[in-house]
Amino acid sequence: MKRAVSFLAVDLGASSGRVMDCRWDGCEFDLKEVHRFPNAGIQFGSDLHWDVLRIWAEIKNGLMNYRSHETTTPSGIAVDAWGVDYCLLDSRSRLIGNPYHYRDARTRGIPESLASIVGSKELFESTGVQTMEINTSFQLASMILHRDQQIHRADTLLMIPDLFQFLLSGHKCAEYTEATTTQLFDLRARSWSQETIAKLKLPSHIFPRVVMPGEALGSLRTNVVSDCGFSQGFPCIATASHDTASAVAAIPNLAESSVVLSSGTWSLMGIVLKEPNLTEEAYQKGFTNEGSADGGVLLLKNLTGLWLLQECVRIWEAAGKQYKWAELEQAAEDVIPFRSIIDPSAADLQAPADMVAAIASYCARSGQPIPSTPSEFARCTLESLSLAYREVVDDLEKITGRTLSTIHVVGGGSLNQSLCQMTADACGREVIAGPVEAAALGNAILQAVATGHIGNLGEGQSALRQSVNCRSYAPVPGHAWSEGYERYKSLVMRRREIESAAVRV
């Protein structure tokens, strides 16, 4: 090629967003950060929302930053983001209210109240997705049950990345991988589950057409072109809009024996399949099916991730104590191993006002020493996450019959050397960490395929082998992890017994 081409990857996470310039020279990818900004829920009264207008302004700031430093026009732009959250537009394409954050309290108790209408097992068989209060299905159902007039005024539902694709291109659609996170999509038919939508009494007309990853949506809107200082438009692409799907698309050397772990605010861990796994065993073990970048399926377990420690850091900062992640990671190395273990999926650790107090309370109730220093909280959190990963890998082998020998870690968690080594030790498997900005790279690869710069997804993944540096962690043998795992399993078993008893009542 005579010159490198640029693909702008807008990668939105639940704690930060970024606009990345991913350059392709015909042989390798080179990633450059154009703009980064913090992202978080905004409390308004008792409600928790996303400030999508500010996010849109930050995306445009990223485009302007690119334009101020570059003379060439990008060859494409695409958006990936987290799943389950959505926006509603009226018949004139105006935003109806601020979209809710998935941690908003309005969905509490909704799955239980709807169990007689559509139970969790039925939803799993219809959509492949496990029941969680945060699911789009229950967010929408809560609007119906609470008689929220916004849903009756709605003409179109757009998931978070689809909203920004619309603002960029003017085209309304639902991208496949993002749609599969809603618990309203039939993965076998690759279309909206009209039966589920009807049972939840949702207006079927608001769900837009579904497009597959890599579809060109048109050129950048003329008003965005002029606002951001470009001389001409460029293609807007529907990438694998769910950030997990984009991240998995950027993993080099992914094999049938590989486990993928997208590690960040959330941990999503699983394997790649061609069709959904809707077996009783997958359902009982809590696995969910979501779309992959190649039109296939990711069999995943959703786990609370580094958000546990992020929330602790937030509490400490509010008290005037500043801690850097590298400092916490280093300090955790000197703490006595397995002093305290938590179940990251415990209900009281999902949305507490004070995570430090919640972890302390959990340890006290379970008869364990209460962490008293930030380093002890960090060690407790990282070890517990690693033990949770071991349970997922063991369950995946039982469900699929595969022998899983390698764990590929992508996302921000791949930078946490202590967590990566602990994961290798806990699981007894090699961990390969990287790329860090996997979602942005996967986003860009799909753009390159859509615009004809790369032949297919496999070619892009092969090119990444030459473009990114990954670090390998070999497991260190020892009995301590096995003993810690038995303690962890007893905590999980107790939690599940309590949950089962609550369901029976």
What confidence tens digit (pLDDT) does each residue in 235-266 have?
999 999 999 999 999 998 899 999 999 998 88
Per the CB < 8 A criterion, the answer to whether 203 and 152 are in contact is: yes
Over residues 408-414, the mean pLDDT reads 93
pLDDT at 1: 45
Q: How do residues 35-71 score in pLDDT, each as one tens digit?
A: 999 999 999 999 999 999 999 999 999 999 999 999 9
Strand partners, 191: 186
Q: Which residues are known to be catalytic?
A: 243
pTM: 0.91
Q: What is the mean pLDDT of residues 469-492?
A: 93
Average pLDDT over residues 455-463: 92
pLDDT band of 119, cuts 50, 70, 90:
very high
Domain boundaries, the chain: 5-241, 244-276+398-473, 307-387+479-504
Average pLDDT over residues 293-315: 95
- pLDDT, mean of residues 128-152: 96
Residues near 124 by Cβ (< 8 Å), separated by ≥ 6? 130, 131, 278, 283
More confident residue, 498 or 203: 203
pLDDT at 331 over 50: yes
163-215 pLDDT per residue, tens: 999 999 999 999 999 999 999 999 999 999 999 999 999 999 999 999 999 99
Q: What is the mean pLDDT of the chain?
A: 95
> What does the pLDDT read at residue 408?
97
DSSP notation for 112-148: HHTTTTS-HHHHHHHHS----TTSHHHHHHHHHHTT-
What percentage of the chain has pLDDT greater than the value 70? 98
Give the pLDDT band of residue 502 (cuts 50, 70, 90).
low
Tell me what pLDDT residue 45 has. Answer: 94
Inter-residue contact 438 to 411 (CB < 8 Å): yes
Rounded to an integer, what distance in angstroms lies between the CA atom of residue 6 and that of residue 97? Answer: 35
Q: How confident is the model at residue 501 (pLDDT cuts 50, 70, 90)?
A: low
pLDDT value at 458 more than 50: yes
Q: Residue 6 — pLDDT band, cuts 50, 70, 90? A: very high
- Domain 5-241 in CATH 1.10.3720.10? The answer is no
User: How far is the C-alpha of 297 from the C-alpha of 240, rounded, in Å?
Assistant: 12
Please tell us whether the domain made up of 244-276+398-473 is placed in CATH 3.40.50.720: no
Query: Given the DSSP bridges, would you call strands 76-80 and 5-12 parallel, antiparallel or unpaired?
Result: parallel
Cis peptide bond prior to 371, omega within 30° of 0: no
140: confidence class by pLDDT, cuts 50, 70, 90: very high
Q: What is the mean pLDDT of residues 338-358?
A: 93
Same fold, 5-241 and 244-276+398-473: yes
Residue 2 has pLDDT above 70, yes or no: no
* pLDDT over 90 (residue 377): yes
* Local confidence band at 281 (pLDDT 50, 70, 90 cut-offs): very high
Angle between helices 438-450 and 457-467 (to 10 degrees): 130
**AA letter at 26:** G
CATH no. for 307-387+479-504:
3.30.420.40
Residue type, 48: L
Name the residue with tokens 């930060």: 16
Q: Where are the alpha helices (DSSP H) in 353-437?
A: 355-365, 374-400, 417-427
